[in-house]
Structure 1
Amino acid sequence: MNERKPAAERIAVRCVDSDVHPVPKSGVLAQYIPEPWRSKYFLPRKIGEQIYYDAPDYAHAYAMRVDTFPPDGEFAGSDPDLMFKQLIMEAGADIAILEPAAYPARFPEVNHAINVALNEWQANHWLDSHNNWHERWRGSICVAIESPHDAAREIERWAGHPYMAQILIKAEPRPAWGDPKYNPIWEAATKHNLTVSCHLSRSHHEELPIPPVGFPSYNHDFMVTYSLLAVNQVMSLIFDGVFDRYPTLRIVLVEHAFNWILPLMWRMDAIYEARKSWVDIKRKPSEYVKEHIKFTTQPLDYPEDKTELMRAFEWMECEKILLYSSDYPHWTFDDPRWLVKHLPEHAREAVMFRNGIETYHLPETVPVLEGQTRVF
């Protein structure tokens, strides 16, 4: 391979994208899956056709932007150079947080094996000097939350990597995050000062989020249900005292929407005030949210009257809790140049890059790229 070197001149980071999805090329990931699970579980079956999804145009483009499929016939998001062209050069992201996904298995040991493989694959195919010569990619230490001790060991294994920016978990496994079984993960995260992010997932039908009246029928009600799953985890983290036990823990909820957090903070604060003598936590629930939890902007839901969204942004103090995200390469992609226009002017820099730099401990400058679009 030809050596590719970054420019010596650097430029200020003005756009951090907190939700970007790289995909392994055909046959690449299997070599990194540890035995016996590679031969015993993954190789005998076809992977990738079980997704629970009926998004628009899924049969044609698998819910991806049609222009994100590389010319070699591989899947959208599998080509670092094409993603670099579309997301960094054309859309203007300065740093992108990579969040790979894998269809989960029913066995914790198997989920751990696939996460081990995803981490090796990221390091060798995205974060290496050939593909990350521009210093724009940041990886996620993928772990199986249902296997906390394995997850903690995986965090220890990758915590020193210069381009691993966060820990990535799923929200579906029971019980909720306030349960002490997850302490090894929170301990490892705070020991290494790494943010823990949770991206929504699609699992086996019986493992999907369950509304009070049963399973959802379609993708559209399933997507709404995912906010309810995040509501549950936020309440568990706060009322079960996770942030009191781990006062430096940072959580990011990716693609779970965020407008619901405002009425939830109101409700939690009201209950806390009424039952303060019975509750063990030390502060108002809304204070924990604003200090410890952040949400990505995609999907940006807004009413017909966009001034109502602006008022909600003000009330929830969006400059404290939001991180810009695009969801590239999905069809729901939010271009940063479009998104920034929907934010209150005083919050734009915080949401588009300052919160991202702080949350992921990113550099404030990156090598100059001649011809790159600038969001600001």
Structure 2
Amino acid sequence: MTLTHIEQRSAPTEHVAVRCVDSDVHPVPRRGVLIDYIPEPWRTKYFLSHPIGEQIYYDAPDYAHAYAMRTDTFPPDGEFAGSDPDLAFRQLVMEAGADICILEPLAPGGRLPEASHASAVATNRWLDEHWLDSRNNWHQRWRGSITVAIEDPAGAAREIETWAGHPFMSQILIKAEPRPSWGDPRYDQVWAAATKHDITVSCHLGRGKFETLPIPPVGFPSYNHDFMVTYSLLAANQVMSLIFDGVFDRYPTLRIVFVEHAFNWILPLMWRMDAIYAARRSWLDIKRKPSEYVKDHIKFTTQPLDYPEDKTELLRAFEWMECEKILLFSSDYPHWTFDDPRWLVKHLPEHARDAVMWRNGVETYKLPTTVPVLEGQTRVF
């Protein structure tokens, strides 16, 4: 019996150095499981009060057949992709070589902040019992997210307090759609709870509902591909709000990660913010150049990795934005856009490889630098 046999549920004592931290992995509840974790009265009066049909609008390749997932990530029992911890462990850790994976379950949202909070509460309880428990995390490779509804700041702060001491909860997970932008003082209790416990806040793009959809200045886009670009604009707005509204001055140890919002746009945004700062410094209350706040407080994930036909131009962009300071590797497993770490590492400048693939992840999420040895695991490098 090897150390990775399905019956083996205790971690080996021998350790190996971490060389790949995957900052974006999506576990999914099995059908009918999450509803039991939603607290009353929201379970009955909101989530069970009306039938829910197909609500996803997404024109990804092969969506009608595979729901925009890797076809090989659906488990044999017919459940959804990402619902089987053992299959995810085999594909992502053993075969692709990820040493530590940050789990980011996308909690069902609601139009009412209280309903979104109830969904977040349920998601945290489910993740703890189905992925971070001793049976499914015996290998110590899964790290969870404290999902919170930032549109309910008081509830979000309470949920952070509830889970902050958990040994495998490594970040706080929010969405960027709720208004107003994050510089508003109403969110300060969320940032205060995060910095009190020294936990990174990550923002994953989400498909908002109704008026929470991201709206560009000229109104709603017409197509899904318009929306996909819009999420980068949304992240840019939040970056500006965090900086110009003084969030990082009020909370100097706050760390923010933008997940799946792309990242190439941050370079010209830093240039523009610095130019405005230089021209209007006497009118601004912030203490440093905007680009310095970005490099010290904000990280971005590598997926989606947008690049031109001439990949040497991508390398130059990496150099200009000092990618070794702001990028975290991410695979987006089990989605069809999955980036294999063995592929991604080949596209990074050599001097930035360690920082992007593992060191930034270890520092950002306060992770160990070694993990238990797994016989037969692929090593990325």
Same fold (TM over 0.5): yes
Q: Are 2:22 and 1:17 aligned?
A: yes
Equivalent residue pairs, number:
376
State the match for 2:153 in structure 1: 148
State the match for 1:173 in structure 2: 178
Separation in structure 2 between the aligned mates of residue 282 and residue 135 of structure 1, nearest angstrom: 41
**TM-aligned CA deviation for residue 18 of structure 1:** 0.2
Q: Are 2:136 and 1:131 aligned?
A: yes
Contact kept in structure 1, 2:208 and 2:214, CA below 8 Å: no
The structure 2 residue matched to 1:87, chosen from 92, 95, 107, is 92
The structure 2 residue matched to 1:267, chosen from 264, 272, 277, is 272
Separation in structure 2 between the aligned mates of residue 357 and residue 47 of structure 1, nearest angstrom: 39
Q: Are 2:316 and 1:316 aligned?
A: no
Which structure 1 residue ranges, 5 or more long, are not aligned? none
Separation in structure 1 between the aligned mates of residue 148 and residue 56 of structure 2, nearest angstrom: 20
* AA partner of residue 185 (structure 1): V
State the match for 1:374 in structure 2: 379
State the match for 1:196 in structure 2: 201
Separation in structure 1 between the aligned mates of residue 54 and residue 41 of structure 2, nearest angstrom: 23
Instruction: Encode CA deviations 1:324-373: one digit per residue, 9 max, x unaligned.
Output: 00000000000000001111010000000000000000000000000000
Contact kept in structure 2, 1:4 and 1:133, CA below 8 Å: yes
* AA partner of residue 6 (structure 1): A
**TM-aligned CA deviation for residue 104 of structure 1:** 1.2
Contact kept in structure 2, 1:48 and 1:103, CA below 8 Å: no
Instruction: Encode CA deviations 1:286-341: one digit per residue, 9 max, x unaligned.
Output: 00000000000000000011111111100000000000000000000000000011
Separation in structure 2 between the aligned mates of residue 124 and residue 375 of structure 1, nearest angstrom: 30
Q: CA RMSD in A?
A: 1.0
Contact kept in structure 2, 1:103 and 1:203, CA below 8 Å: no
Give the % identical residues: 81
Which structure 2 residue ranges, 5 or more long, are not aligned? 1-5
Distance 1:248 1:7, change over 3 A: same
Distance 1:48 1:374, change over 3 A: farther
Q: Are 2:96 and 1:109 aligned?
A: no
Q: Are 2:22 and 1:51 aligned?
A: no
Q: Are 2:227 and 1:222 aligned?
A: yes
Instruction: Encode CA deviations 1:268-294: one digit per residue, 9 max, x unaligned.
Output: 000000000000000000000000000
* AA partner of residue 167 (structure 1): I
State the match for 2:250 in structure 1: 245
Q: How does 1:317-356 map to 2 (within 5 A)?
A: 317-356=322-361
The structure 2 residue matched to 1:234, chosen from 239, 253, 269, is 239
* AA partner of residue 141 (structure 2): R
Contact kept in structure 1, 2:111 and 2:210, CA below 8 Å: no
* AA partner of residue 275 (structure 1): R
State the match for 2:39 in structure 1: 34
Q: Are 2:130 and 1:122 aligned?
A: no
**TM-aligned CA deviation for residue 52 of structure 1:** 2.5
**TM-aligned CA deviation for residue 103 of structure 1:** 3.0
Separation in structure 1 between the aligned mates of residue 7 and residue 264 of structure 2, nearest angstrom: 47
Separation in structure 2 between the aligned mates of residue 328 and residue 267 of structure 1, nearest angstrom: 34
Instruction: Encode CA deviations 1:30-74: one digit per residue, 9 max, x unaligned.
Output: 111000011111123344621131211111100000000000000
**TM-aligned CA deviation for residue 2 of structure 1:** 5.5
Question: What is the TM-score with the length of structure 2 in the denominator?
Answer: 0.97
* AA partner of residue 304 (structure 1): E
Contact kept in structure 1, 2:26 and 2:105, CA below 8 Å: yes
Instruction: Encode CA deviations 1:215-246: one digit per residue, 9 max, x unaligned.
Output: 11211111011000000000000000000000
Separation in structure 2 between the aligned mates of residue 3 and residue 202 of structure 1, nearest angstrom: 39
